[in-house]
Structure 1
Amino acid sequence: MILQKEIREIAEELQLPGNTIDKDYVLGHFLNGFFSQKWAQENFLFKGGTCLKKCYFKDYRFSEDIDATITNANFKLTRKHIQQVCEQVMDKSGIAFKILTFNPVVLNDMPIGWDVEVCFWGANHERNKPPVFGKDCHTKIWCEFRSYELVLFRQNMRKIFHFYGDVELIQTSIPCYDVHEILAEKLRALIQRNRGEARDYFDVWYIKENINSINWQSVKNAFVKKCEYKNVPFTNSSDFFQPKRLNQVQITWDKRLKHQLPKTFVMEAAVIINELKVFLTELFD
């Protein structure tokens, strides 16, 4: 395992909390261990904001959770699967884990996946200090695995970005969503979530600004199909920018996104929203 000194140096350089850097470090190892399993390679597709951070953009915002689509609806994930991953990563990296929750998810009496919480003891502590897993563990990874999803683009095999001193331990390639697939689901999330989530708006804006080769018509078509698949109503671009959601965006920007952005990132939420309004209105209306 790397030393706490390395975590602190990176945190100081980026002016971010040490625990944000520590979680990014642990995520690299957990993903490496998870997708080194044959059953994961064959049945899971990595997606979401953490996929963008760990597999697509080296300088992306930091992320916290693991989202993956289960491509084989008959696959049965077990607590033992996750325990095997934790033990393998522990043996390889020295990072300790404890499974906090392992819950099947059911929708309309149909099993659609699993929610898993894993507490970790990473590098942001004194060397050789024994793991402390309290009742209210704050250093944890939330994993959301779902089979109830429509996949429309071919997967991409991607390496894991891991900018830490033990990078030689990270050798697994991960089956990932194509970035068009990620965008289509991010757009759906803008109207599907119960609240306006700043990270979703940020992610769509960031990809728009940083990848010139996106086929936005393909993204639009996939978005419409994904909405129909999950019975999410969509009328026009104004659905993305309902006043109630936009009020929540500023709250979630401060509480759920700001600590993931380097202090050098000075773009305000309102500017990003306004740029997206112009772009998505032109795309959809």
Structure 2
Amino acid sequence: MIPAREIKEMARESGVPVSTIERDYAQNWLLAALGSLPMALKGGTGIRKVYIEQYRFSDDLDFTFLEPFERIEIATAVSHAVHWVYEECGIRFEDDIGLINTKTGYRATTRFRILSGSALSPIKIDFDLTRMDYEEVLLPVQRRDIFHPYSDNPKATVPSYCLEEIMAEKIRSIFQRVRPRDIYDIWQLDERVRSEDVMAILQRKCKA
């Protein structure tokens, strides 16, 4: 695990709370642990982790399953991931992993702390997991390197939506519920995507 001074220095340089850097760091190791599973990273976290370095921070890890998953398989996968991360880099997660059903799939929750006293309570990471029968992945999934601006790079990869599919879902989201972060993401991605590929799938995305 990286030293406390590295986390604090990164927080100072980024202008964010120490807990934000702790979460960002832990997310990367969790992605490394989950990278072999048949599910694709998406959303704002996907943009930051594998497409645009130093992008905005995001609290959750969002995935769409590429194969059917049973509830027990999800719980087991997350449990194995947090134990692997502890063995590899020393981040200790709480044993109690929350898992609830949602309209679109599942939400798993795990908690951890790296720096003692850095938060009044353990830091939370949510996994939003979308069933493949609810959200169809329409464009080819790409396996991409995980950006890890820390000194203990796990040099891992993770399956991810292409930027055009992320963009299409962001556009859909503003018709469902306007959130500033989605508008920001659309603005940032506008010159990075092939607009014809976005438009080709947008209608089908909006029917999901």
Given the two structures, how large is their TM-score scaled by the length of structure 2?
0.90
Question: For residue 184 of structure 2, what is the aligned residue in structure 1?
Answer: 202
Number of the residue aligned with 1:165: 151
Aligned to 2:160: 176
Residue 110 of structure 2 corresponds to: 118
Q: Secondary structure at the match of 2:138?
A: coil
The amino acid of 1:203's aligned partner reads: D
The alpha-carbon deviation at position 73 of structure 1 amounts to: 2.9
> 1:81 maps to what in 2?
77
Asked whether the equivalents of residues 160 and 174 of structure 1 are also in contact (C-alpha less than 8 Å), the reply is yes
TM-score for both structures, normalised by structure 1: 0.67
| Matching of residue 59 in structure 1 with residue 54 in structure 2 | yes
> Does the aligned pair in 2 maintain the 1:4–1:125 contact within 8 Å?
no
> Match for 1:70: what amino acid?
F
Q: 1:91 to 1:52 in 2, by over 3 A?
A: same
CA distance in 2, matches of 1:189, 1:97: 32
* Partner in structure 1 of residue 101 of structure 2: 104
Cross-structure match for 1:8: 8
Aligned length: 204
The answer to whether the 8 A contact 2:112-2:122 is kept is: no
Name the structure with the higher helix share.
1
Separation in structure 2 between the aligned mates of residue 20 and residue 90 of structure 1, nearest angstrom: 19
Percentage of pairs with the same residue: 31
Pick aligned residue for 1:224 from 171, 195, 203: 203
1:19 maps to which residue? 19
Aligned-residue CA RMSD in angstroms?
Answer: 2.0
Instruction: Give the greater-gyration-radius structure (CA).
Output: 1
Structure 1 residue ranges (4+ consecutive) displaced by more than 4 angstroms after TM superposition: none
Unaligned 5+ segments in structure 2 are none
Q: Which residue of 2 aligns with 1:28?
A: 28
Q: Which amino acid aligns with 2:196?
A: Q
CA displacement, residues 27-47 of structure 1 (integer Å, 9 cap, x when unaligned): 1111111114xxx1xx20111
Letter in structure 2 aligned against 1:60: Y
Of 170, 175, 188, the residue aligned with 1:186 is 170
